Amino acid sequence: MSTGKEITIYDLARKLNISIATVSRALKDDPVVSKKTRKKIADLAEEMGYRSNNFARNLRTQRTDTIGVIVPRLNSYFMSTVIAGIENVAGSEGYNLIISQSSESAQKEMASAKTMFNSRVDGLLVSLAYDTDTLRHFDAFIKKNIPLVFFDRVEEHANCLNILINNKKAAYEATTHLISQGRRRIVYITATPKRNVYVHRLEGYKEALADQKIAFREDYVLISNLSQEAGAEAAAVIRQMDPLPDAVFVANDNCAVGCMVALKQSGIRIPDDIAFAGFNNDPVSTVVEPNLTTINYPGYEMGQVAARNLINHLNGASSIDTTNTIILRSELIIRESSGPGRKNIS
* 248 inside domain: yes
Whether 285 and 181 map to the same domain: the answer is: yes
Residue 231: partners with Cβ closer than 8 Å, 6 or more residues away? 189, 224, 250, 254, 255, 256, 257, 258, 259, 260, 261, 262
Do 283 and 310 have their domain in common?
no
Compute φ and ψ for 101, nearest 5 degrees.
-115, 140
Give the range of the structural domain holding residue 260, as residue numbers without chain letter.
167-297+332-344
For the domain that residue 129 is a member of, what is the CATH number?
A: 3.40.50.2300
pLDDT for residue 166: 97
- Strand 247-250 with 294-296, pairing: unpaired
In this structure, are 213 and 340 located in the same domain?
A: yes
**DSSP letters along 136-171, please?**
GGGHHHHHTT--EEEESS----TTSEEEEE-HHHHH
Please check whether residue 42 lies inside any domain of the structure.
Answer: yes
Report the pLDDT averaged over residues 19-39.
87
Q: What is the pLDDT of residue 346?
A: 37
In a domain, 3, yes or no: no
Please check whether residues 208 and 340 belong to one and the same domain: yes
Q: For residues 200 and 339, state if they share a domain.
A: yes
Indicate the burial class of 118 (C-beta count within 10 angstroms; 0-12, 13-18, 19 or more): exposed
The closest of 325, 264, 306, 344 to 97, measured between CA atoms, is 306
CA distance readout (Å), 188 to 65, 238, 330: 44, 11, 19
Read off the pTM. 0.81
Tens-digit pLDDT profile for residues 299-309: 999 999 999 99
Region 334-345 average pLDDT: 78
Examine residue 59 and state whether it is found in any structural domain, yes or no. no
Q: Are residues 172 and 267 in the same domain?
A: yes
Q: Write the pLDDT tens digit of every residue in 234-271.
A: 999 999 999 999 999 999 999 999 999 999 999 999 99
Indicate whether 61 pLDDT > 70: no
Whether the predicted pLDDT of 26 surpasses 80:
yes
Number of domains observed in the structure of the chain: 3
Q: Identify the helix (H) or strand (E) that includes residue 296.
A: strand 294-296
Say what the pLDDT of residue 62 is.
Answer: 62
Q: Looking at the structure, do residues 304 and 272 belong to the same domain, yes or no? A: no
Do 115 and 176 fall within a single domain? no
Q: Could you give the C-alpha distances from 272 to 85, 151, 234, 334, in angstroms and in order?
A: 38, 37, 19, 16
Does 320 map to a domain?
yes
Residues 131 and 199 in one domain: no
Could you read off the pLDDT of 133-188 as tens digits, one per residue? 999 999 999 999 999 999 999 998 888 999 999 999 999 999 999 999 999 999 99
In a 13 Å sphere around the CA of 275, the CA atoms on its Cβ side amount to 28
In a domain, 60, yes or no: no
Task: With respect to residue 1, please indicate whether it lies within any of the assigned structural domains.
Answer: no
- CA distance linking residue 209 with residue 206, whole number of Å: 5
**Residues 201-215: what's their mean pLDDT?**
98
